[in-house]
Amino acid sequence: MDKYKIVIEELLKFRNERDWEQFHDSKNLALAISIEAAELNELFLWKKDSESENINIEKIKEELADILSYSFLLAEKHNLNVFDIVLDKIKLNAEKYPVEKAKGTAKKYNEL
């Protein structure tokens, strides 16, 4: 069994053992992702650029795990494979940001 399926099964098992599925509608999962992303951002708040690379990696892992867990649950709820949707988005972005125009710049696609 691949690791992705194992992670999904473990998330669902954890959730179901606690009867939390009732709280995991799409809106609440999306809100949870946003809140956990804010908690990740908080680790970097008021840090200088040079300090931002020295954040406690364990705290980064915890917040990323929360973000990914809720993201996986939302994807699973809508029968989406996260790897497929990420690969699709990379293809879309490759069209928006062709290497010859986007290389070395942080400009948005409509500014290139």
Q: Which domain holds residue 28?
A: 3-104
The CATH number linked to 32 is 1.10.287.1080
Residue type, 22: Q
pTM of the model: 0.89
Looking at the domain assignment, is residue 109 inside a domain?
Answer: no
Distances (CA, A) of 56 to 8, 43, 52, 62: 27, 8, 10, 10
pLDDT band at 1 (very low <50, low <70, confident <90, very high): low
pLDDT in tens, 16-52: 999 999 999 999 999 999 999 999 999 999 999 999 9
In the chain, how many domains are there? 1
Looking at the domain assignment, is residue 110 inside a domain?
Answer: no
Looking at the domain assignment, is residue 32 inside a domain?
Answer: yes
Looking at the domain assignment, is residue 112 inside a domain?
Answer: no
Looking at the domain assignment, is residue 36 inside a domain?
Answer: yes
pLDDT (average), residues 5-19: 97
Looking at the domain assignment, is residue 111 inside a domain?
Answer: no
pLDDT in tens, 77-105: 999 999 999 999 999 999 999 999 999 99
Looking at the domain assignment, is residue 50 inside a domain?
Answer: yes
Looking at the domain assignment, is residue 31 inside a domain?
Answer: yes
